[in-house]
């Protein structure tokens, strides 16, 4: 059994048949794995990063007072600013 390891062409238990195709598949699968990993990481960074901005929509009717109420409800402006702007619009 141990003598087979030292025979020429045995390649540590492999007889050499199909060795090239096994190595080619290994290389192609590594490239495919890296490509899939790159795509997944790119999509993840886009989703978590600057590419994932909330959509700003105006309410139907779009009056200035409705927009002001929406901004106050979202916390974009404080109470004093809301009351001042509401007085300016009235």
Helices (H) and strands (E) in the chain, counts: 3, 0
pLDDT value for 34: 96
- Flag whether 12 is in a domain: no
| Residue showing tokens 């590419």 | 51
Number of domains making up the chain: 1
pLDDT value for 5: 53
Give the C-alpha separation, 26 to 22, whole Å.
6
Domain that holds residue 29: 17-50+62-89
The pTM of this model reads 0.38
Can you read off the two tokens belonging to residue 79?
Answer: 């109470």
- Flag whether 84 is in a domain: yes
Helical ranges in 4-62 per DSSP H: 19-48
- Flag whether 80 is in a domain: yes
Parts of the chain with a pLDDT under 70: 1-19, 50-62
pLDDT value for 41: 95
């Amino acid at each position: 059994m141990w003598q087979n390891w030292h025979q020429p062409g045995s390649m540590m238990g492999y007889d050499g048949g199909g060795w090239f195709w096994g190595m080619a598949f290994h290389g192609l699968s590594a490239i495919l794995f890296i490509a899939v990993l790159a795509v997944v990481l790119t999509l993840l960074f886009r989703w978590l990063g600057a590419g994932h901005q909330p959509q700003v929509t105006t309410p139907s009717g779009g009056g200035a007072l409705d927009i002001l109420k929406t901004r106050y409800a979202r916390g974009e402006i404080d109470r004093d600013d809301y009351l001042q702007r509401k007085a300016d619009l009235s």
